[in-house]
Amino acid sequence: MTTLESSRTETAIALDARHTAHNYSPLPVVAAAAEGVWITDVDGRRYLDCLAAYSAVNFGHRNPEIIAVAHAQLDAVTLVSRAFHSDRLGPFCAALADLCGKDMVLPMNSGAEAVESGLKVARKWGVDVKGVPAGEANIVVAHNNFHGRTTTIISFSDDETARRGFGPYTPGFRMAPFGDADAFADAIDEHTVAVLVEPIQGEAGVIVPPDDFLPRLRALCTERNVLLIADEIQSGLARTGRTFACEHWGVVPDVYLLGKALGGGVLPVSAVVADRDVLGVLHPGEHGSTFGGNPLAAAIGTTVVEILNRGEYQRRSTELGEHLHRRLRALIGHGVVAVRGKGLWAGVDLDPSLGSGKDMCHRLARRGVLVKDTHGATLRFAPPLVITADEIDWAVDQFEAAIPASRRKLP
């Protein structure tokens, strides 16, 4: 295989290999700068970023509006902890709660922390409000879920690579097949406090559920007095053409878990958003985070909410997403087996005879396009939403050219 390595790239990768834990297997691309949809490596090569840091860079690398706010906040105050108030936190929580149509926000940092926090809130709500005996609560999750990497979260994963060797596992979770509302109904009992799902499963390969799934889960949760928690950490904040992916099915969850793009591609900002009857179960000392809701994060998060309120990225994702999907679907039967997704988010199943998804990622990187594989032969296309139609065409042209000639469409 020809490689992208040059001496600078090789030196950087060798240093990583010696001193960075090997919990990832990155492509041999060493970013030195980025702007909009483009990443430049240490040797000056440019790549079109079709991953957007797993949707954390929805608004483009170094979005000028977000960077200007970050600079201004760096010159004011960056961190005080929650031991004091800051003039940034209230406006952020008010704006984010309003965006979600809810009352309150619990600010955290990483996505996994938002999930952990949501689980704790649901268990506490179960005890305090629903009347589930302490220690008896259960939460129903979907097969093939991905909600992060903490000990509790991997306890309810069915990905053996994510779990193996990390036990003992946290009890209190049940699983049902994603998309099967009847199976969720069967899994719920009188001690169930929440159903936790990704509205569209991202890491599983951009899996869109049947149209009746989320509306039926919503009805089920209301009927059985169970919280519906939507993990919109990857699917939310304009990625699918709506502010929240749940909107595609007219569903409003009880709890939103948000992260990734909430930090504007600058720093980790996450949140649990819900009404007072849910988030109100937390009292001083019961939960917290030194960095959660810090002034820099809050200033950036407020700007992200302002951007979302304008709707321009939701529109771009819808319009350009149709273009991306049209171009990708044209490759079905010519190296591509299936294309799924919504907006500027596509899961592309490769014909397995072409090699692994990882091989294709390497081939595409050599052609200047960065994508990420998942589950063997699936590629994810999730570019920053600032991408243009011409850039989409160029990326898909590179993809088509990376498919061996014998499998390509005849002109």
Ligand X SMILES: Cc1ncc(COP(=O)(O)O)c(C=O)c1O
Task: Supply the residues annotated as catalytic.
Answer: 146, 231, 260
The answer to whether the CB of 231 falls within 8 A of the CB of 258 is no
Residues linked to residue 346 through DSSP beta bridges, in sequence order: 341, 381
Scanning residues 160 to 189, which ones bind ligand X (CB under 6 A)?
none
Is 60 a residue that touches ligand X (CB under 6 A)?
no
Residue 117 binds ligand X, judged by CB under 6 A: no
Residue from 41, 49, 203, 391 binding ligand X (CB under 6 A): 203
* 48 interacts with ligand X by CB under 6 A: no
Binding residue (CB under 6 A) for ligand X from 205, 259, 341, 384: 259
Which C-beta is closer to ligand X: that of 125 or that of 345? Answer: 345
Among 70, 89, 115, 193, binds ligand X (CB under 6 A): 115
How far is Cα 272 from Cα 120, in angstroms, rounded to an integer?
A: 11
Verify binding: residue 202, ligand X, rule CB under 6 A.
yes
Q: For ligand X, which stretch binds (CB under 6 A), given 83-91, 110-118, 161-169, 296-304?
A: 110-118
Regarding 126 and contact with ligand X (CB under 6 A), the answer is no
Residue 350 has which token pair? 């490769």
From 95, 214, 233, 308, residue interacting with ligand X (rule: CB under 6 A): 233
Tokens of 33: 């700068």
Closest C-alpha to 259, from 85, 143, 106:
106
Q: Which of 107, 118, 126, 148 binds ligand X (CB under 6 A)?
A: 148
How many of the other CB atoms lie within 10 Å of CB of 20?
A: 11
Instruction: Check binding of 200 to ligand X (CB under 6 A).
Output: no
C-alpha span between 256 and 105 (Å, rounded): 10
Q: Shortest Cβ distance from residue 217 to ligand X (Å)?
A: 16
DSSP 399: H
The residue nearest ligand X at its CB is: 111
Query: Rounded to whole angstroms, what are the CA distances from 143 to 157, 203, 372, 409?
Result: 7, 12, 21, 35
Give me the phi and psi of 67, to 5 degrees please: -65, -35
Q: Which of 198, 349, 373, 400 binds ligand X (CB under 6 A)?
A: 198
Contact 204, 178 (CB under 8 A): yes
CA angle, 382 then 162 then 158, to 5°: 90
User: Going by DSSP bridges, is the β-strand pair 104-108/227-231 parallel, antiparallel, or unpaired?
Assistant: unpaired
Per rule CB under 6 A, count of chain residues that contact ligand X: 15
The answer to the question of residue 341 lying near ligand X (CB under 6 A) is no
Q: Kindly state whether residue 346 participates in binding ligand X, applying the rule CB under 6 A.
A: no
Spell out the residues 6+ positions from residue 132 whose beta carbon is closer than 8 angstroms to its own. Answer: 126, 190, 191, 193
Chain contacts with ligand X (rule: CB under 6 A): 54, 110-112, 115, 146-148, 198, 202-203, 231, 233-234, 259
